[in-house]
Amino acid sequence: MQLPHQLLDSLTGIAGFNKEAFVQIHESGEQITSIRLNPAKVPIGNRSRLEAGAIGNGIPPQLQENLLSAASPIPWSTYGYYLPQRPAFIFDPLIHAGAYYVQEASSMFLEQALTQTTDTSQPLRVLDLCAAPGGKSTLLQSLIGPESLLVSNEVIKSRAAILEENSIKWGGANVIVTNADPAAFAKLENFFDVIVIDAPCSGSGLFRREPEAIGEWSEHNVQLCYQRQQRILADVFPALKEGGVLIYSTCSYSKEEDENMGDWLMDTFSVNSLPLTIDTAWGIVETQSDKHKTFGYRFFPNKVKGEGFFISCFRKTEGEGNTVRPPKRSLLQKASKNEQAIIQPWLQQGNSIQLWKQKEDLFAFPQQLEKELLTVVDNVYVRRAGTAIGKIAGNDLVPDHALAVSTLVNDSIVAVSLKKEEAIQYLRKDELSVTAAHKGWTLVRFEQYNLGWIKVLPNRINNYYPQGWRILKRISDNTYEQP
């Protein structure tokens, strides 16, 4: 693998860059696999319990062996683990149940950026502006409280679909998935406490993992990327409230896209750069921009166990608190008493959620976020808000898949446990031949994790797994990966 010499030359002199070690790690072909567990579904203990080998029963059995043998938590992450080898993720039902996400380890440092700059015990309004396929968004879902709002946005429609799928699988009700250009958020002036911009970039940080991307790299593309990054930042900046935090990251090593963006932000807006505390053992390099000495954190694969990454945080020091008012009239209506009564038995008690209706579709959203919901729906194109519950037909609910994999679904709904081969059949949307005593809507599970719905009829079983999500690959092709 030949790294572009223009890239290597441009990195000379950057703090922490060691050309020989950098080239050598790229040539080594080493692949690192890491996952992040979903604390809303996997009742894991903390890292010290893992290190002590005293893992609770909640760890998915398939992962237990890997985790135990590796005992290798990602040091800057509460829920992230390195795996000793790469399993065939697509054939693990638990990934489809949203029990974990395959995420590159350096990216999980977002946890430090958020928790060191923001009080996550308070209700927050968080925007993840460039969110597909959902790695950072699912992490944010795990870090904020259920009374906080996460808006996960993706501008490209086809990519917004995969973002929506991963978001549904993660299970939280406090998420709105939008499909909008960054400029659309300017209407939500001073609205967000935190904006995460994981910017589209020239991608050099992923060269070790995706050597085929090397051919697409050029100095010209770096220029185009940082111009686009400036546009994105300028477009969305009004949506951050005074005192709010902007978290900016790339998977590029180029200074133009990294430290120079800090200088550009300081020149253009009223912001302060926020330093983070890092453990020297992590191998992360703190850098400062040339002009304003803004803090940045660089991940070189020859120094950290992860891919190339850059992150920096800023606090907005101008503007006002929230100035947007929720609309007087909305496209959304609250569910009627009758609809609520039909839905109640399907839901776990004790969740403070409100049921909403848009046309025929019912969905659940946290009660305390009503104002936020109405405001976002009024201003930005929303693909999905909260947890889809389903539609009412007569006096019955036709449940939505999202309900089955959400944290709201009632535990006591009749369920059938599938063996691994049956679970794969279900996820392929093949015909199922399991025995189910109960007739009607039934949850299917693998281990204790819900996979979706079936409907048991007198002479057959209908498989309601979403058509677009089904497993298409055969066992021989196990290259599936979540970026």
**Contact residues: ligand SAM, CB under 6 A:** 107, 130-136, 154-156, 159, 182, 198, 200, 228, 232
Closest CB to ligand SAM among residues 181, 219: 181
- Say if CB 32 and CB 74 are below 8 A apart: no
Cβ of residue 483: shortest distance to ligand SAM, in angstroms?
6
Cα 166 from chain centre:
7
Q: Which is nearer to ligand SAM, 165 or 198 (CB)?
A: 198
In the complex, minimum distance from the CB of residue 270 to ligand SAM, in angstroms, rounded to a whole number: 23
Rounded to an integer, what distance in angstroms lies between the CA atom of residue 60 and that of residue 445? Answer: 13
Bond from prior residue into 133 cis (ω within 30 degrees of 0):
yes
Min. distance of Cβ 455 from ligand SAM in angstroms? 34
Closer residue to ligand SAM in complex, CB, 41/136: 136
Q: Report the residue number, 3 or 127, with the smaller CB distance to ligand SAM.
A: 127
Closer residue to ligand SAM in complex, CB, 68/156: 156
Q: Which residues pair with 285 in a beta bridge?
A: 298
Structure tokens at 298: 């660089």
Distance of alpha carbon 437 from alpha carbon 442, whole angstroms: 10
Instruction: Write down the least CB distance from residue 74 to ligand SAM, Å.
Output: 15
Asked whether the beta carbons of 120 and 114 are under 8 A apart, the reply is yes
Shortest reach from residue 107's CB to ligand SAM, in Å? 6
Environment class of residue 67 by beta-carbon count within 10 Å: exposed (0-12), middle (13-18) or buried (19+)? buried
73/205 with CB nearer ligand SAM = 205
Kindly tell me which of 131 and 222 has the beta carbon lying closer to ligand SAM: 131
Residue with tokens 């053992």: 281
- Give whichever of 88 and 156 is closer to ligand SAM, judged by the CB atom: 156
Q: Which two tokens stand for residue 301?
A: 């694969």
**409 DSSP assignment:** B
In the bound state with ligand SAM, the residue whose beta carbon lies nearer, of 133 and 452, is: 133
Residue by residue, DSSP assigns 282-340 as G--EEEE-TTT--EEEEE-TTTSSS--EEEEEEEE-SS-S--PPPPSS-S-EEPPHHHH
**Could you tell me if 261 and 287 are in contact, meaning their C-beta atoms sit under 8 angstroms apart?**
no
Report how far Cα 376 is from the mean position of its chain's Cα atoms.
19
Residue with Cβ nearer ligand SAM (34 or 425):
34
Q: Which amino acid is at 244?
A: G
**Under a CB-based contact definition with an 8 Å cutoff, are residues 251 and 206 in contact?**
yes
- Residue 104 CB, shortest distance to ligand SAM, in Å, is 9
CA distance 129 to 247: 10
The answer to whether the beta carbons of residues 247 and 294 sit under 8 Å apart is: no
DSSP annotation of 275 reads -
Integer Cα distance of 72 and 165 in angstroms: 28
Tokens describing residue 477: 């092709």
What are the angstrom distances between the C-alpha of 374 and each of 177, 181, 320? 14, 19, 21
Least Å distance between CB 57 and ligand SAM?
Answer: 30
Kindly tell me which of 130 and 353 has the beta carbon lying closer to ligand SAM.
130
Q: How far is the CB of 200 from ligand SAM (least distance, A)?
A: 4
Q: Cβ 155 to ligand SAM, closest distance in Å?
A: 4
Other beta carbons less than 10 A from residue 440's beta carbon? 11
